[in-house]
Structure 1
Amino acid sequence: MCGICCVVSLSPRSCVLADRVRTNLISRGPDHSQDVTKTVMKPDFKCLFSAHVLHMKGSLTPQPLQDSAGNLLLWNGEIFGGLEVGPEENDTIVILQHLSVQEDSTGICRVFSRVRGPWAFVYYEVAKHCIWFGRDYFGRRSLLWHSDPEVVILTLTSVASCPSTSEQSQWHEVPAAGIYRLDLNDCAQSKGLIIEVFPWVNSEDHPSVHTPDYTWEDLPAYATVMPNLSGVFLQSPVCPMNMSTSAPERHLGHVQSPQLSLENLEELLMQSEKVERVKQLIEVLSEAVRRRVQSLPCSRPFTDQSGTNDEADIAVLFSGGIDSMILAVLADRHVPAGKSIDLLNVAFKLQEAKPQTQSSKKGKKPKTDPTDEHQGDHNLTRCFDVPDRITGRAGLLELQHLNPERQWNFVEINVTPEELQRMRQERISNLVHPLDTVLDDSIGCAVWFAARGVGMAMDRAEQKLYTSNAKVVLTGIGADEQLAGYSRHRVRFKSDGVEGLVKELAMELSRISTRNLGRDDRIIGDHGKEARFPYLDEDVVSLLNQLPVWEKADLSLPRGLGEKLLLRLAARELGLGPSAILPKRAMQFGSRIAKMENRREKASDKCKRLNTE
C-alpha cells in the first residue's frame, strides 16, 4: 500500500504539495518517499508525482516507477488475481510492464479489467501526454481530487487535509465508476481540463445504454467530465446481482421466539441445498482470506524450528460478532501455526455509573465487598465493558476452544474522552475528510484507534501493554451490505417485501465506495497498515450476487438468525457456537463511541467535531 499524489498544472504557477497533505501521505507509506517532476514545453504543462511506499510484497520498489520509455506509475493496490504475479515479484512492476506495452485506450482498460484486488493509481502515458487515474470497482482504495478555483490545477491524492473553518473544502472522492483520462494536449489547447470516463460495464450490458454515475461535485468552470468518445469501457469484475423476488416458503416458520438457539441453525443445515450453499461460501471466502493473509511483508520471516519470530503479521478488527469471528477462523486456517493473530477490540469509556441502591426510600446503602482490595481497578475496567468488549471476550473463548494451540492476542484498546478529542483534532479529522457526517466521525474514530492497535493483552495470565505491529488488518466490511445485516434492511423488508429488500441490497453495494471504503482506507492506512476486505473479494461478491436474496437472508425470521442467515450457517459449519446467533450491532454502538457524544444527533447530520479549529 502507498500514499500517492499527482499535481497537474496548466498555469504558470508551479506544482506544490501542501505540507499537511505530504505528512498524511508519509504516514501511509513510511518505507520510501520520492517526488518526480515532469515539465513539458509543448504542450505547456507541469506534473508533480509524489509517492510514499509501504513495503508489502517482493523487493522494495521505489515509486514513482518509470520504465525505459518514460511512462510513470503511481500504484496503491494489491493484485490478488487476474494478472500473474510471482511470489517474489512486486505488483507495481507487474502493472507497469502490462501498461507499457499497450498501444491504445482499449488495451489499458483491458489491463485494469483483469486485475482482482483493491487499487488506486495514476499513470502518465508519456508518448501521448495522457494522465490516467482511478479506483477499483468497489473503491477499496482512496483517491481524492481537488481543483484550484482560479487557475487550471488538478490534484489527485490518497489523502488530503481538512480545511480550516474559514475555508471551503474543494476536496472530493474520485467516483469509483471507472477509470479516467486527462489528455494534456487537449487540455493545453482548450486552457481547461477535459476528463474522459471509461466506465465499468457488466457483460450483458451494451455500452451505449450504460449510464454510470460519474458525476463530479463542484467542478470549476474550466473543467469538464464526459464519456470517452471511442466507447471503450472496462469489464465488471463481478456478475450482476440476482434480482429475483419469487421467494419460496421459509423452512423455519415456527421460529417466532426471540430466544434463539444453535439448534435453529442445525435444523437448516440438515437440508441438502443449504449445505451445498454453505460449503460454496466457506470455500470461496476461505480462499479470499488466504490470498490476503499470505501476501505479507517480507521483513519478518517465520522460522518454524526456533519459534522465536511469532509476532503477528495479521490483525482482525474484532468485536466477537459473526463477521469478525469468521475472518478469524479462516485466518487460522492459513496463518502458520506458530504465528500469533491479533484481535483488535476497541472500547470507549462509559460514563461512570452512580452507586446502585436497593431502595432510596428505605435508606439502604449499596452493598460492597469489604474484602475487595482492587475495587478501584475493577471499577476502572468496568468503564470499558462495552457490548463489543463483552462479545469480544466471549468470541476469544470460542476461538481458543477451536484452536488452543494458536496464540490469540486479544488486544483491549481503551479510549478516554480526552484522548478521543485530542486525536480527532490532530489526526482523524484530516483522514475522514472530505466525508463529514456524525456517522463518519463515529466510525472513523473507532476504526482509527482499533487499527492503531495500542492496548492491553494477556501475557502468561497477566495483562500487559501491547502494541500490534501487524501490517495487514482484516475488516468485515461488505458482509452486512450483501447479506442484509443492517436494521434498515429489516425495515425495508417489512414495508416493501422481498422486492424492496433486493433493491436495497443492490443500492448498498453500489454506494459502498462513497459510504465506507475510501474513508476506512484513509483511516487504517494512517498507521502504516493496510486494510484488506475479504467479504469484497470479487469471487465472494460474484457468488453472493448469483444467489437469490432468500438464500442469503430470511428477514421473516427473528434477529440473530434471519439477517445474514447464510453466513450464520457457515459459522455453525465452521464450529462456532453462540457467536453464530449474535444479533448485528453497529460499531458505533458496540464500542459505545455514540454514547460519548450528543445522543440527539442523527447519523446523517454534519459533524461539527470534525472541524480542525
Structure 2
Amino acid sequence: MCGICCVVTLSNQHTVHDFFNKDVLSCLKRRGPDSSQQLIKTVSDLSYECLFSGHVLHLRGLMTPQPLEDANNNIFLWNGEIFDGVHVGSLENDTEIMFHRLTLCNSEADILSLFSSLRGPWSFIYYQGSRDCLWFGRDYFGRRSLLWQFSNEVVCLTSVSVYSESGSQWREVPASGIFKIDLKACATSKSLSLTLFPWKYSSTEKTVEEIFISVLDRVSKDLPNYIPLVTNESKLCLTAPVIPLNKTISEALDECQCTDVSNINHTVSVETLQAFLGVECKKKLVHQFIDVLSEAVKKRVLGLFRDKDEKRRDIPSTSTSKAHVAVLFSGGIDSMVIAALADQHVPMEEPIDLLNVAFMIKEQSKQKCTSKKHIDQEIQLDLLSCQESYKNLDVKTDDHLVCFDVPDRITGRAGLKELKALNPLRTWNFVEINVTLEELKRMRQQRVSHLIYPLETVLDDSIGCAVWFASRGEGFISNQGELKPYRSSAKVVLTGIGADEQLAGYSRHRVCFKNYGLEGLNKEIGMELDRISSRNLGRDDRIIGDHGKEARFPFLDEDVVSFLNSLPISEKADLTLPRGIGEKLILRLAAVEFGLTASAILPKRAVQFGSRIAKLESNSEKASDTCSRLKLLSVDEV
C-alpha cells in the first residue's frame, strides 16, 4: 500500500509547492512509512509543472520506492495489490510490473485493457510523458482512496488530505472509471478538462451511449462548473471485473426448495441451519461459496514479505512469533468466518491478531453494565455459549474494565473460544482495545477527522473512529489470566465489509423486503455495491492506512462478488426467516460447515452500536446528520 499525490499547475504565477500542504505530506508519510520520495516535472515549452509524491508501505517483493520514472519521461504512482489478472511473481513487485506494462501500451485501448484485466484493489496516477497526458482512477469498487481538488489552472490528486474551512474543497474521485487529462491541450487553453473512460459490463442491456449519459451526469454533479467532463471520442470503456447482479425471481419453488426446505422448523438455532445443510443442493452451493471465499482470503494473507525462517507451517506457535495478519473482530458472523478462513492459510507458527474495540460505557450506565441479565437482554442473545463465556471470565482485573464490556466485547470473547476450539494450536491474540471519551475526543480532533474528510455524517464519525482505534491495534491481551499491554505488528488488516451489502444483512433490507418484496430487495442490493465506494471504502482505506497498515476486503474479491451476483437473492438470504437466520443465510450455513455454532446465529449488530461509540456522546443524532464534532478541527498536530 502507498500514499500517492500529484499536483499539476498550468500557471506560471504559482509553483506546485504552493498547493502541496505539509500536513497532507505528513498524512501521506503515515500511509507509507518505508519510503518517501518526490519528483517535479517542469515542461517549459508548454508551461505546466507536475509534482509527484510517493510513500510506500512495503508488503511484497523487493522494496520499490515511488514515484517510478523511465527514460521516456513516464512517471507512475501506484497504490494497489494485484491478486490476479496480471502475473506477479513471488519475488516481484506489482508497482514495477504495472509500470512496465503501461509503458508498452500504444493506445488508449491498450491502457483500458490492462486495467480491465486487474483483480484486486488499486488507485493510480500515471504521467504519460510522450503524449503529455495524466491518467488516474480507482478500481471498480473504490477499495483504495483517491481525492481530487480543482481550481481554474490547478488539479491536485492525493490518497488523503486534511480538512480546511478555506479554499476549494476535496472530493473523492468517483470509482466510475478512469480519467485522463490532456495536459498539452489544457496548457494551451489555460483551463482544465477531464476525459472519462467508464466501466461497463461485458454483456449488458445498456448501450454505450446510455452508459456514458448516466455516468457523465452522475460524476459532473460533484465537479466545479468550470471543469468540463467529456466522453472519449472513441467511446471506449473499461470492462467491469464482475458479472451483473442476477435479479431473477422464480415464480415457483425450484426442485431444491421443494424437497425438504419448506418443512424445516424456522427457529433461531444451529439445528435449523444444519437442517438446511441436509438438503444436498444447498450444501453443494454453500461449499462452492466456501471455496471461492477461501481463495479470496488466501490471496490476501499469503504473498506478504516474511522472514525466511518463518515460512514453515508445521512449527508450533511461540510467544515470540510476530503477527502479519489481523482481523477487525467483533465475534459476529462476518469476522468469525474471515478469521476461520485466515486460520486455514496463515502459516501455523504465526499468531493471528483479533482486534476488538470497545468504548467506555457512560458513568450512569455502569450499574447496568455489570448486570449479566441486562447484557444478555441488550445484546439479544439466547446463546448458552456466549453466556458461559461471560460467566467464566476472570473479572478480578480492575473494576473499570467492566465498563468496556460492550456487546462486541462479549461476543468477541465467545468467538475467541470457538476459534480456539477449531484450532487450539494457533496463537489467537484477542486484543482488547479500550477507548475512553477523553482519548476519543483528542484523537478525533488530531487525526481521525482529517481521515474521514471529505465525508461528514454522524455515521462516518462513529464508524471512522471505531475502525481507527481498532486498526491501530493498541490494547491488552490475556497472558495466563493476566492482561498485558500489546500492540499489533500486523500490516494487513482483514475486514468483513461487503457481506451485509451483498447478503441483505442490514435492517433496511428487511424493511425494503416487507414493503416491496423480492423485486424491491433486489433493487436495494444492486444499489449497495454501486455506492459502496463513496459510502465506505475510501474512508476505511484512509482510516486503516493511517497506521501504516493495509485494509483488505475478502468479501469484495471479484470472484466472490461474481459468484454471489450469479445467484438469485433467494439462495443468499431469506428474509421470511427470523433475524439471526434469514439475513446472510448462505454465510451462516458456511459458518456451520466450519464448525462454528454460537456465532452462526448472531443477529447483525453494527459496529457503532456493538462498540458503544454511538452511545458515548449523543443519543439524539441521526446517522445521516452532519456531524458537528468533525468540524472542530486542528491540523497543528497532524
1:472, 1:530 within 8 Å by CA — same for their partners in 2? yes
**1:138 aligned to 133, 137, 141, which one?**
141
Structure 1 pair 493–541 and aligned structure 2 pair: CA distance change class (3 A): same
1:480, 1:486 within 8 Å by CA — same for their partners in 2? yes
**1:519 aligned to 517, 539, 560, which one?**
539
2-structure distance, mates of 1:524, 1:247: 45
2-structure distance, mates of 1:118, 1:592: 31
1:32, 1:62 within 8 Å by CA — same for their partners in 2? yes
Alignment-derived partner of residue 153 in structure 2: 152
1-structure distance, mates of 2:476, 2:229: 50
**1:296 aligned to 293, 297, 304, which one?**
304
2-structure distance, mates of 1:132, 1:282: 37
Cα deviation for residue 253 of structure 1 reads 5.3
Alignment-derived partner of residue 385 in structure 1: 405
Cα deviation for residue 301 of structure 1 reads 5.3
Alignment-derived partner of residue 74 in structure 1: 77
Structure 1 pair 300–37 and aligned structure 2 pair: CA distance change class (3 A): farther
One-letter code aligned to 1:267: A
Cα deviation for residue 379 of structure 1 reads 3.0
Q: Can you list the C-alpha shifts for 1:208-248, whole angstroms capped at 9, x where unaligned?
A: 33234351455344421111111111111000000112264
Cα deviation for residue 191 of structure 1 reads 1.5
Alignment-derived partner of residue 339 in structure 2: 328
Structure 1 pair 394–433 and aligned structure 2 pair: CA distance change class (3 A): same
Structure 1 pair 247–349 and aligned structure 2 pair: CA distance change class (3 A): farther
Structure 1 residue 283 corresponds to structure 2 residue 286: no
Deviates more, 1:477-486 or 1:306-315: 306-315
1-structure distance, mates of 2:517, 2:200: 29
Cα deviation for residue 378 of structure 1 reads 4.8
2-structure distance, mates of 1:102, 1:586: 45
One-letter code aligned to 1:38: K
**2:564 aligned to 544, 548, 551, which one?**
544
2-structure distance, mates of 1:564, 1:495: 19
Structure 1 pair 254–163 and aligned structure 2 pair: CA distance change class (3 A): farther
Correspondence 1:185-584 to 2 at 5 A = 185-205=184-204, 206-211=207-212, 212-214=214-216, 215-246=219-250, 248-249=252-253, 260-298=268-306, 302=310, 304=312, 310-352=321-363, 353=365, 355=367, 377-584=397-604
2-structure distance, mates of 1:597, 1:18: 32
Q: Can you list the C-alpha shifts for 1:392-442, whole angstroms capped at 9, x where unaligned?
A: 000000000000000000000000000000000000000000000000000
Cα deviation for residue 163 of structure 1 reads 1.0
SS in 2 for 1:213: helix
1-structure distance, mates of 2:69, 2:366: 64
Deviates more, 1:300-309 or 1:522-531: 300-309
2-structure distance, mates of 1:513, 1:462: 41
Cα deviation for residue 376 of structure 1 reads 8.7
1-structure distance, mates of 2:306, 2:68: 20
1-structure distance, mates of 2:325, 2:252: 41
2:457, 2:627 within 8 Å by CA — same for their partners in 1? yes
SS in 1 for 2:354: strand
Cα deviation for residue 182 of structure 1 reads 0.4
2:7, 2:50 within 8 Å by CA — same for their partners in 1? yes
2-structure distance, mates of 1:217, 1:21: 26
2:10, 2:154 within 8 Å by CA — same for their partners in 1? yes
SS in 2 for 1:223: coil
Structure 1 pair 440–268 and aligned structure 2 pair: CA distance change class (3 A): same
2-structure distance, mates of 1:316, 1:303: 21
2-structure distance, mates of 1:578, 1:247: 34
Q: Can you list the C-alpha shifts for 1:65-124, whole angstroms capped at 9, x where unaligned?
A: 112322110000000000000000000000011100111100000000011000000000
Cα deviation for residue 307 of structure 1 reads 6.2
1:31, 1:54 within 8 Å by CA — same for their partners in 2? yes
Structure 1 pair 354–188 and aligned structure 2 pair: CA distance change class (3 A): closer
SS in 1 for 2:282: helix
SS in 2 for 1:510: helix
2-structure distance, mates of 1:255, 1:20: 59
SS in 2 for 1:482: helix
Cα deviation for residue 35 of structure 1 reads 0.4
Cα deviation for residue 467 of structure 1 reads 0.4
Structure 1 residue 32 corresponds to structure 2 residue 35: yes
Alignment-derived partner of residue 388 in structure 2: none
Q: Can you list the C-alpha shifts for 1:155-178, whole angstroms capped at 9, x where unaligned?
A: 0000000114xx365100000000
One-letter code aligned to 2:598: P
Alignment-derived partner of residue 608 in structure 2: 588
Cα deviation for residue 377 of structure 1 reads 4.5
Q: Can you list the C-alpha shifts for 1:460-514, whole angstroms capped at 9, x where unaligned?
A: 3321000001000000000000000000000000000000000000000100000
One-letter code aligned to 1:288: A
Alignment-derived partner of residue 370 in structure 1: none
1:170, 1:218 within 8 Å by CA — same for their partners in 2? no
Unmatched tracts of structure 1, length 5 or more? 357-373
1-structure distance, mates of 2:509, 2:559: 24
One-letter code aligned to 2:245: M
Cα deviation for residue 279 of structure 1 reads 0.6
One-letter code aligned to 1:193: L
1-structure distance, mates of 2:582, 2:546: 36
1-structure distance, mates of 2:443, 2:275: 48
Q: CA RMSD in A?
A: 1.8
1-structure distance, mates of 2:251, 2:567: 12
Alignment-derived partner of residue 124 in structure 1: 127
SS in 1 for 2:38: strand
2:150, 2:168 within 8 Å by CA — same for their partners in 1? no
Alignment-derived partner of residue 46 in structure 1: 49
One-letter code aligned to 2:335: S
1-structure distance, mates of 2:449, 2:208: 39
SS in 2 for 1:511: helix
1:256, 1:557 within 8 Å by CA — same for their partners in 2? no
2:316, 2:348 within 8 Å by CA — same for their partners in 1? no
Q: Can you list the C-alpha shifts for 1:35-78, whole angstroms capped at 9, x where unaligned?
A: 00000022220000000111111111010011232211000000
What TM-score do you get using the length of structure 1 for normalisation? 0.94
Cα deviation for residue 458 of structure 1 reads 1.3
Q: Percent identity?
A: 57
1:174, 1:216 within 8 Å by CA — same for their partners in 2? no
SS in 1 for 2:410: helix
Q: Can you list the C-alpha shifts for 1:10-46, whole angstroms capped at 9, x where unaligned?
A: 0121002101100100000000000000000222200
1-structure distance, mates of 2:130, 2:92: 27
What TM-score do you get using the length of structure 2 for normalisation? 0.90
SS in 1 for 2:215: coil
SS in 1 for 2:447: helix
User: How many residues align structurally?
Assistant: 591
1:31, 1:55 within 8 Å by CA — same for their partners in 2? yes
Alignment-derived partner of residue 89 in structure 1: 92
2-structure distance, mates of 1:303, 1:143: 35
Structure 1 residue 5 corresponds to structure 2 residue 15: no
One-letter code aligned to 1:89: E
